[in-house]
Amino acid sequence: MIVQGDPSDIDRFSNDILTYAPPASRIKSIDVFPSIVGEYDRFTVTESRVVNDQITEISPDIAVCDQCLEDMSSDPARIDYPFINCTNCGPRFTIINGLPYDRPVTTMSGFRMCPKCSAEYNDINDRRFHAQPIACNSCGPSCEFTDGKVIIKELREILDKTSSIIDGGGSLALKGVGGYHLACDALNNDAVARLRQGKNRDMKPFAVMFRDLAALKEYCHTDSSEEKELLSWIRPVVLLISKRSLAPQVSNGLVTTGALLPFMPFHYLLFRHLKTPVIVLTSGNISEEPVIKDDSEARDKLLKSADALVSYNRDISNRADDSVVMVTKPGIIIIRRSRGYVPRPVDLAFDAEGILALGAEQKNTFSIGRKNQAIMGQYTGDLKNAGVCDFYRESIENFSSLFRFTPRYIAHDLHPDYYSTLYASFLREKYGIPSVAVQHHHAHIASCLAERCLDEKVIGVSLDGTGYGTDGNMWGGEFMIADTGSFERYCHFDYVPMPGGDRVVDEPWRMAFSYLYKYFGDSFDYYSLEVFRRTEKHKLDLVSEMLGKNINAPLSSGAGRLFDAVSALTGLCHEASFDSEAPMRIESAINHNSDVCYPFRIADTVVFADMFLAILDDLKKVDVSEISARFHNTIAQVIVEVAERIRSSRGIGKVVLSGGVFQNRYILERTFQMLEKRRFMVYTNHQVPVNDGGISLGQTAVASKHFGLCV
């Protein structure tokens, strides 16, 4: 930018840039240099030029702003206009097809601006100056309602109809910013149960959208930082502690609610007509497939179970699910990074040019490296689903063309059977480029090092469900001494067989059996415990045989498996009806006033035999919430004690916590607090997910070091 004037004017100008920056802008620094140029007599913004290889950042999608909401009742051309937007708000990433970001390369290209919009678009003093998706009632996109029989195009009628469907206990497919949603009254249990059935969804909790913050606060506890996230332009789903219960089918007995506030103009209009203050708003997909973004697919698949569908005639170019976050004492924890975050890059302290990191398997994201930035793709889902695999490959291609990226190096997980690993070998052949396999838990730790611009030996605590280890076993209770270049496995949770392999994930009681079998053997009286009396005898015999003969019982040190075992033992989760149910139920049960901790032993591994003995004893004496607290306290204590050992033997004082277990708020906060009290420097992920959604960033860091790109 060239600015002409007195030094004081220039100072004021750069201050104004900071003061009046649009909410979604990101100013990294302002540097002022003197320059000799021609005379200018007015302020101009010149046309974007395509410069080869130069990349511009693409803005994530921004929730409708307050001024636009006001305009919806005062601007005659935009009264109740559901696609109102301005330079400060509206869709971005989800409508873009190419760069530079100008209207012709967006899915707005088919809409011709009317004279009023065009005048505003070209007026530098207007809030809609160069707002690419600018539109109004006479020239922009419009909504359409269908129930399979009638089609309604009049907005007022659409709102009447949709609100009466929801208030009457029906359900609706609703086209959002980055894909379709399914919605119903979150206070009507039958409606929620039916929606669940139609979606073919297990019992996983649904996110809900409240009319406004006041309504939300009647049902959920919030503090000021949670409210800030709820109201931010990103408008993520925020995991909150429930205060009053919604329909039981929404959260299925968990003490948290995933809540969000309206982010599209249509949501505000809908709530004006609705009686209920809260609706279920969940991804419009069937089972584990990617969220649906195309209108014809939505009609084919969603209208089968939803009573009606509301769409609009602007295409969604890039999918983006709702992002999910949690506000903890150490800071924000991102659980799903998508709408509002993507494709904002993560700034790195090293060169990542040309690195394509393919992520892991569950909650997958990939990442492309451009100079000293990692641009992470949106949440894709679990790469066990064929539809998710298609979406994954498609997104990698999209990002490559959007950001003019050509892979020069590939980073992937060490697991030989992950889809992302197979895809890595395909790409390696296709481009004839080198690749590196990155151990999963090393990637977790490196993801945190990368976002915090650290590269030194740290105590890496990586706790999660599973990840392929260098010894061929499943890891996940890992204490490492690591930097981005390498890691040493200092200590880990005891190896325990998983009878039936992946079956243990659906049947946590198998892990309860396996732990007791490992520590107390054949002679233990399994039938003295409720958990095994509840289990079918033939299954129990089979599991016992697998363990006795070591058939189909791969070893795991996964912390998630330990949570499974204790959750099953305490009767909280015998069989899981959704992913991570057992750990979520045991976290939900915690008594927050207990400081008691179970005994354990740290040798070459962390041995939990004494803890299980104490739990077995407690099962007869104290209630489940107390056992849950004691168990959680034990895990935090284990982390602290191992960290102390490493510090005293190696002199390392920085601890990095990463892996899915740290989505457990209690574990994260307690561990942080205990470590800081002992004067450790403690770090965790805040820009990318602490779960496997952050793996691709860690792989990028390790690959940069491996291929010698670091500066």
Q: Catalog residues that contact Zn ion under the rule CB under 5 A.
A: 65, 68, 86, 88-89, 114, 117, 136, 139
Q: Which residues touch 628 (CB under 8 Å, ≥6 apart)?
A: 566, 570, 572, 586, 587, 589, 590, 591
E strand map for 364-428: 367-370, 373-376, 409-413
| Rounded Cα distance, 522 and 648, in Å | 39
| Rounded Cα distance, 105 and 56, in Å | 14
Please, which residue, 91 or 343, has the CB nearer to Zn ion? 91
Work out whether strand 143-146 and strand 278-283 pair parallel, antiparallel, or are unpaired: unpaired
Please, which residue, 86 or 306, has the CB nearer to Zn ion? 86
Work out whether strand 256-260 and strand 237-242 pair parallel, antiparallel, or are unpaired: antiparallel
Please, which residue, 81 or 418, has the CB nearer to Zn ion? 81
CB of 110 to Zn ion, least distance (A): 14
Instruction: From 109, 548, 558, 21, select the one nearest 317 (Cα to Cα).
Output: 109
464 binding partner (options Fe ion, Zn ion, none; Cβ < 5 to 8 Å by kind): Fe ion
CB of 476 to Fe ion, least distance (A): 7
455 binding partner (options Fe ion, Zn ion, none; Cβ < 5 to 8 Å by kind): none
Measured at the alpha carbon of residue 176, what is the angle toward residues 171 and 181, in degrees to the nearest 5? 35
117 binding partner (options Fe ion, Zn ion, none; Cβ < 5 to 8 Å by kind): Zn ion
CB 449 within 8 A of CB 684: no
Angle at which helices 609-621 and 559-569 cross, to 10°: 20
Please, which residue, 127 or 452, has the CB nearer to Zn ion? 127
CB of 69 to Zn ion, least distance (A): 8
CB of 77 to Zn ion, least distance (A): 6
Please, which residue, 34 or 115, has the CB nearer to Zn ion? 115
152 binding partner (options Zn ion, Fe ion, none; Cβ < 5 to 8 Å by kind): none
Please, which residue, 23 or 148, has the CB nearer to Zn ion? 23
65 binding partner (options Zn ion, Fe ion, none; Cβ < 5 to 8 Å by kind): Zn ion
Q: Is 388 left (phi over 0), alpha (psi -120 to 50) or beta?
A: alpha
End-to-end distance of the chain based on CA atoms, in angstroms?
28
CB of 671 to Fe ion, least distance (A): 17
Please, which residue, 136 or 667, has the CB nearer to Fe ion? 667
Binding residues vs Fe ion (CB under 5 A): 464, 692
CB of 294 to Zn ion, least distance (A): 26
| Rounded Cα distance, 240 and 96, in Å | 33
348 binding partner (options Zn ion, Fe ion, none; Cβ < 5 to 8 Å by kind): none
CB-nearest residue to Fe ion: 464
CB of 60 to Zn ion, least distance (A): 15
| Rounded Cα distance, 566 and 326, in Å | 24
Please, which residue, 117 or 320, has the CB nearer to Zn ion? 117
Please, which residue, 117 or 576, has the CB nearer to Zn ion? 117
CB of 560 to Fe ion, least distance (A): 9
Please, which residue, 361 or 618, has the CB nearer to Fe ion? 361
In DSSP terms, 258 is beta-bridged to 207, 239
| Rounded Cα distance, 512 and 575, in Å | 12
E strand map for 394-484: 409-413, 435-438, 458-463, 477-482
CB of 14 to Fe ion, least distance (A): 43
Helix, strand, or coil (residue 525): coil
Q: How far is CA 565 from CA 233, 606, 611, in A?
A: 40, 16, 12
89 binding partner (options Zn ion, Fe ion, none; Cβ < 5 to 8 Å by kind): Zn ion
Please, which residue, 307 or 464, has the CB nearer to Fe ion? 464
CB of 466 to Fe ion, least distance (A): 7
HSE-up (13 A, CA, CB side) for residue 231: 13
| Rounded Cα distance, 383 and 588, in Å | 28
355 binding partner (options Fe ion, Zn ion, none; Cβ < 5 to 8 Å by kind): none
139 binding partner (options Zn ion, Fe ion, none; Cβ < 5 to 8 Å by kind): Zn ion
Please, which residue, 114 or 681, has the CB nearer to Zn ion? 114
DSSP H/E element including 505: helix 503-506
Q: Which residues touch 115 (CB under 8 Å, ≥6 apart)?
A: none
CB of 119 to Zn ion, least distance (A): 9
CB of 102 to Zn ion, least distance (A): 17
DSSP state of 239: E
CB of 162 to Fe ion, least distance (A): 40
Q: Which residues touch 346 (CB under 8 Å, ≥6 apart)?
A: 373, 374, 375, 376, 450, 451, 687, 688, 697
Please, which residue, 230 or 449, has the CB nearer to Fe ion? 449
692 binding partner (options Fe ion, Zn ion, none; Cβ < 5 to 8 Å by kind): Fe ion
Phi and psi for 364 in degrees, rounded to 5? -65, 145
86 binding partner (options Zn ion, Fe ion, none; Cβ < 5 to 8 Å by kind): Zn ion
